[in-house]
Amino acid sequence: MRQRTSGPSDRPPPTHHRPRAAALAARVLCLLVAGATAGCASLASPTAEVGADRMTDPRPARDGGTLTIALKSDPDKLDPTLASTAVGRTVFTAMCEKLYDVDAANRIVPQLAAAPPTTSDGGRTVTIKLRRGVRFADGTRMDAEAVKTSLDRHRTLTGSVRASELKPLTSVQAVGDDTVRLRLTKPYVPLLALLADRAGMVMSPTALKRYGEGFASHPTCVGPFRYAERVVGDRIVLDKDPNYYDADAVHLRRVIYRTITDGNVRLANLQSGDIQVGDQMDPVQVGRALTEPGLQLFHSPSLGYYGLTLNIGNTKGAGAPPGRIDTPIARDVRVREAFDLSLDRDLINTIVFQGRYRPTCGPLPSGTPYATGSQCPARDLARAKRLLRAAEVTTPVRVRLQISTTPEDNRLGQVIQAMAKEAGFAVSLAPTEFATGLEHSRAGDFQAATTNWSGRLDPAGNIDVFAGTGGAQNYGGLSDPAIDRLIAEGGATAAEPARKEIYARLVERVRAAHTVLYLIQPTNYVSVTKKVAGVKVFGDGLIRVKDAGYAKGGS
């Protein structure tokens, strides 16, 4: 499936037509943000343009050296079956290849597979030929049995985040050494995109047997680099893997991932040379980095979104049957709609993200075939107040909003707090370290939480596990039979026009539940020192370092 990336012509037009009241509101809201005097000056001052999308650096690289990459947060478990963080996906990109991958044009291409899959039996049987001569980091051979072992583990391991993704997959058969055959209960269009993500990562059966539940501390896959060590909260170290099938093309000797949550600190470390790559740079740092002669910027339209998740039924953990939560925002959809209507997405983009992102109110990114193209409802305080009166709730309605500890999330939380107050909500902020906040969300130990999803190629990847009953990342506990039916229809329908119509209805149904409030479609921003060449950052936002190295002849 091919999906178009957004070009410069897809960018939203400047909002010069906005009334003066909106500009005044922006200044007032800016002053409400902690430490905003300096922040407002930065947000209001002219910034350099980033230019056209830039995903690759074709300069030749020399062999040797260590590349240090600063991540925005600490990855969760380094186990493809159990992991669920975007920063974890970035680390996996260097050490755990998949059956398929994504290229710069958002096309799915073979990686550990030797060719695109073939289907039979009306789409219920999928056959995949594997690349030959491949070995895991422990030196053992990757073959069809190893692929079967990994897929079966993804499907059946207790706590697997992949299980709901692969629900239609009923059995995996090894056919000789280099072919696997997958049996499905029904045609499942999202499968190929899933096999280009963690569900398609193949793990060493020898390591799985040896380490068992401790595999995350000894992750062993196929990749240009292999796991060396981890200090949780500080660093993950990978070394070049001599067993890799394309090892001669790998330049770097070592890659180190450091956790630096503050974008200002990431930028300072780039400027000092302590790191060479800054991941997920927020727009404030992007503006500053553009003026640095020693830095280069990679950027591409994201496939994901920023938003809020409201807990309406997650009482026993994500994936468990929903329960009853006795809060106004959980009991009554009118309260959730009022909260949604209190938010001005254009101003959020301007104040929090310097206007470098795109306002959105749905899960499917613009510039892709399944984007609905519908306009987001404008902020409407009068209607929000009418809804609260109709719901007969006592105002202000108290909402505890869990945010991460990054400056970006702090800005977002405080702007939401100020906006919602005008409609009749009292939002208290609960800054929480990222990994801890993720555990709270999974467990249902939250009322509202900021959500940052990196996005997937297939539209099902941005909806199913978040909105489907029992979805592994349905942290809000949403359960709606109509949504479940549309999810099933979307997964079984191959023809794009019919599938697009299904997803248009599905998006509207999900939005009407107001369990996830979609706010912003981000842009992937990665800052890299000009001394480094060969880095790649595609629409999935992952930093690819297989071809990276220090530039020949300097910058």
- Answer yes or no: is pLDDT of 345 > 70: yes
Summarize pLDDT for 70-96 with one digit per residue, the tens.
Answer: 999 999 999 999 999 999 999 999 999
Q: What is the number of structural domains in the chain?
A: 3
What's the rounded mean pLDDT across residues 93-114?
95
User: Are the beta carbons of 67 and 545 closer than 8 angstroms?
Assistant: yes
Last residue of some domain: 190, 217, 244?
217
State which of 217, 239, 262 marks the end of a domain: 217
pLDDT of 34 strictly over 70: no
- Residue 365 has a pLDDT of 87
Average pLDDT of span 179-188: 96
CATH label of the domain that carries residue 455: 3.10.105.10
Q: What is the pLDDT of residues 405-446, one digit of tens each?
A: 988 899 999 999 999 999 999 999 999 998 899 999 999 999
**pLDDT, tens digit, 9 for 90 and up, residues 359-413:** 999 999 887 888 876 678 899 999 999 999 999 999 999 999 999 998 889 999 9
CA dist., res. 185 & res. 124, Å (int): 6
Half-sphere exposure of 64 (CA within 13 A, CB side): 2
Do 168 and 285 belong together in one domain? no
CATH number at residue 145: 3.90.76.10
Q: What is the pLDDT of residue 435?
A: 85
- Looking at the structure, do residues 466 and 385 belong to the same domain, yes or no? yes
- Domain boundaries, position 482: 303-521
pLDDT digits (tens, 9 = 90+) for 265-284: 999 999 999 999 999 998 88
pLDDT of residue 517: 97
Asked if the structure places residue 18 within a domain, the reply is: no
Please indicate, yes or no, whether residues 189 and 251 belong to a single structural domain of this protein. no
Q: What is the pLDDT of residue 44?
A: 37
pLDDT for residue 9 is more than 60: no
Considering the domain boundaries, does residue 325 fall inside one?
yes
Evaluate if residue 35 carries a pLDDT over 60. no
271 & 419 share domain: no
Q: What are phi and psi of 130, to 5 degrees?
A: -105, 150
Helices (H), 99-167: 144-156
Are both 338 and 390 inside the same structural domain? yes
> Which pLDDT score, from 0 to 100, does residue 287 have?
82
Q: What is the rounded average pLDDT of the residues 203-224? A: 97
Nearest residue to 2 (alpha-carbon basis) of 102, 100, 99 = 102
Do residue 476 and residue 538 come from a single domain? no
The answer as to whether 67 is a domain residue is no
Question: Are 184 and 243 within one domain?
Answer: no
For the ranges 32-41, 58-67, 325-334, 487-496, which has the lowest average pLDDT?
A: 32-41
Listed range (137-146, 247-256, 293-302, 325-334) with the worst mean pLDDT:
293-302
Report the Cα 168 to chain-centroid distance in Å: 23
Q: Are residues 95 and 186 in the same domain?
A: yes
Q: Which residue has the higher pLDDT, 264 or 252?
A: 252
- Both 388 and 286 in a single domain? no
Please check the confidence at residue 7 and state whether its pLDDT lies above 90: no
H or E stretch covering 92: helix 86-95
Q: Read out DSSP for 384-442? A: HHHHHHHTT--SSEEEEEEEESSHHHHHHHHHHHHHHHTTTEEEEEEEE-HHHHHHHHH
**Contact between residue 529 and residue 352 where contact means Cβ atoms under 8 Å apart:** no
Distances (CA, A) of 259 to 70, 203, 262, 394: 6, 25, 9, 42
Q: What is the CATH number of the domain that holds 531?
A: 3.40.190.10
- The mean pLDDT of 162-173, rounded to a whole number, is 94
Higher pLDDT, 9 or 53: 53
Domain boundary among 217, 249, 282: 217
DSSP state of 319: T
pLDDT recorded at residue 343 = 98
Decide if pLDDT at 10 tops 70. Answer: no
Contact 84, 76 (CB under 8 A): yes
Residue 25 has pLDDT above 60, yes or no: no
Q: Is residue 456 part of a domain?
A: yes
pLDDT of residue 457: 85
493 and 444 within one domain:
yes
pLDDT at 76: 93
Average the pLDDT over each of 149-163, 205-219, 281-295, 479-493 and give the range with the smallest value: 281-295
Name the most confidently modeled range: 24-28, 50-54, 262-266: 262-266
- pLDDT surpasses 60 at 2: no
Task: Let me know whether 211 and 97 are in one domain.
Answer: yes
Is 34 inside any structural domain?
no
CA atoms within 13 Å, Cβ hemisphere of 485: 5
Q: Is there a domain that residue 180 lies in?
A: yes
**Domain-located, residue 387:** yes
Six-digit token string for 370: 């399944």
Give the C-alpha separation, 193 to 1, whole Å.
9
Domain match, 233 and 207 both: no
Please tell me the predicted confidence (pLDDT) of residue 554.
64
Kindly state whether residue 506 falls inside one of the protein's structural domains.
yes
pLDDT at 105: 87
